[in-house]
Amino acid sequence: MTYGDIGGPVTELILTCRVAAAAPAVHRGDAVALTGPYEITSAGGDGAPVFGQALADADPGRIVSVRARGVCLFRFAGTAPVLDGARGVVMSATAGVVRAPASGNGSGKAVCVRPAEQIVDVML
């Protein structure tokens, strides 16, 4: 599987998780945060660590596959994440969307940013 402008082989880890009962529905491509044992939400709270990416739509209480390792293409809010090999992303205040961390390092490493599309490729 290849990604980005150059690409290359990427190892992925897909886990089966449940959408938290009190959480909003998740949508394919949403960034998700961990809320309990194999339990996720797309509304993890501003600054929460990113756990992975939902691979399908799912309602609260339902199961969904989550890419927990590999390259994820996330929508981002605010200033574009930095491509420095260290800082990743964190959950934003908008459900399913990430942002650059205000300080310190977030989850993963940003490897490509497309500001015009508001998309960031993150290697988790």
pLDDT tens across 55-106, in order?
A: 999 999 999 999 999 999 999 999 999 898 888 999 999 999 999 999 888 9
Check pLDDT > 80 for residue 6: no
6-10, 13-17, 36-40, 72-76: least confidently modelled range: 6-10
Instruction: Tell me how many domains the chain contains.
Output: 2
In this structure, the answer to whether residues 64 and 108 fall within a common structural domain is no
pLDDT mean across residues, the chain:
92
Q: Domain limits at 60? A: 13-69
In the chain, the N- to C-terminal Cα span, in Å, equals 15
**Greatest extent of the chain over all pairs of C-alpha atoms, in Å:** 41
In a domain, 76, yes or no: yes
DSSP assignment of 14-79, as one string? EEEEEE-TTSPPB-TT-EEEEEETTEEES---TTPBP-EEESS-B-TT-EEEEEEESEEEEEB-SS
In this structure, the answer to whether residues 54 and 20 fall within a common structural domain is yes
1-5, 47-51, 67-71, 119-123: least confidently modelled range: 1-5
This prediction's pTM: 0.90
